[in-house]
Amino acid sequence: METILDAHLAHKYWNNLSAAKLQALLEAANTGGAVLEVRSIEIGREALLFIGLIPDASVGAKGNALQRRPMIVSRSLGNFHTTWAALLGASEHTLGFLVLHHPLTLRGVMRRSDREDVWVAAQVKRDLDSLPPMSMGDHCCNLCNEPIAKERLRAIPGVRICTKCQTIKEEMKS
């Protein structure tokens, strides 16, 4: 198995993100999977978190309360389709596309959305320890997985919860 970002994860590099997306969609169609559009990769001590958008129809039961980060668990993982430029930070938002094989199980409760896509995180175990913990791409909320506004990140360096979730937490306390 190939290694990327200290994890054994099959991956393919393409010339551009449009080609990567097309190949991920084809793989998902051929293998009975869904495609996670990866907006952030958090490299933790023991695992990688691929955070991004997945079609709402691909996810099973959803709740409307905020408790902890919504995690998606799949039967198995397909390829991570990306470009070198995206991993090096040249892409505005998308880092690549991770194919997840059905059935998909949601752990945690997500905030309801009227959008067709939902924010989730997929965990991949790290097998090596050559990279320090860090984030690539958008800095995402630890509770809902949505990107934290750049203004909030500048105002409160190191913040890990978005304004919406912070407001909900404060309302729940009172």
76 HSE (CA, 13 A, CB side): 7
**Residue 58 · residue 34 · CB < 8 Å:** yes
Cβ-Cβ contacts under 8 Å for 101 (sequence gap 6 or more): 31, 32, 33, 74, 75, 76, 77, 78
What tens digit of pLDDT does each residue of 77-127 get? 999 999 999 999 877 789 999 999 988 888 876 555 556 788 899 999 999
What tokens appear for 63 in the block? 């709740």
- Residue 121: what residue type? A
Q: 47 pLDDT exceeds 70?
A: yes
The pLDDT of 28-47, averaged and rounded, is: 94
Q: Where are the domains of the chain?
A: 3-173
Does the pTM exceed 0.85?
A: yes
Q: Is the pLDDT of residue 26 over 90?
A: yes
Tell me the C-alpha distance between 15 and 37, whole Å.
17
Q: Number of C-alpha atoms within 13 angstroms, CB side, residue 173? A: 6
